[in-house]
Amino acid sequence: MPLIPETYRHNISLLVDKHTTDASRIVDIGADAIRAARQASSSLPDIALGDIFDDIRPMHALIDAIINRRVLDPQFEEIVDDLLEALPILDEADPLAPAYASVRADLQEAQYFANRFLDLLAAEAQRAQSRGSH
């Protein structure tokens, strides 16, 4: 085995924080939900909302939730469900299909992170309540 000169030797250290949990990342998870919601609204094709949706109210509800910082409210799940239902499903050959698929994926990601955020809040509240009752 040839000798490797000292200048070519490197030590790599991987520091793993075994105590990192979703509860400790709750702020990041909430921010991820908001980011995904914003990404969904900005990923829509640059055409009139009336040309995309038969009913534009779900899209307005999403925009309102983003502007008023209500992405992490329990009602956000219903907003996303309504919007996913209203979002047209296009044939893959349609030039707008990738944009709609991106919006759909971003909405689902926003909903996942928002629900995870709310689940963590509820779990923490329940844990705090059970600690207080002893």
Instruction: Quick: pLDDT tens for 110-129.
Output: 999 999 999 999 988 888 88
User: Domain residue spans in the chain?
Assistant: 23-126
List CB contacts of 111: < 8 A, sequence separation 6 or more: 33, 76, 77, 80, 81
Instruction: Quick: pLDDT tens for 65-109.
Output: 999 989 999 999 999 999 999 998 889 899 999 999 999 999 999
List CB contacts of 40: < 8 A, sequence separation 6 or more: 62, 103, 106, 107, 110
pTM, to two decimals: 0.78
Count how many Cα atoms sit within 13 Å of the Cα of residue 46 in the half-sphere of its side chain: 0
Query: CB neighbours (10 Å) of residue 36?
Result: 21
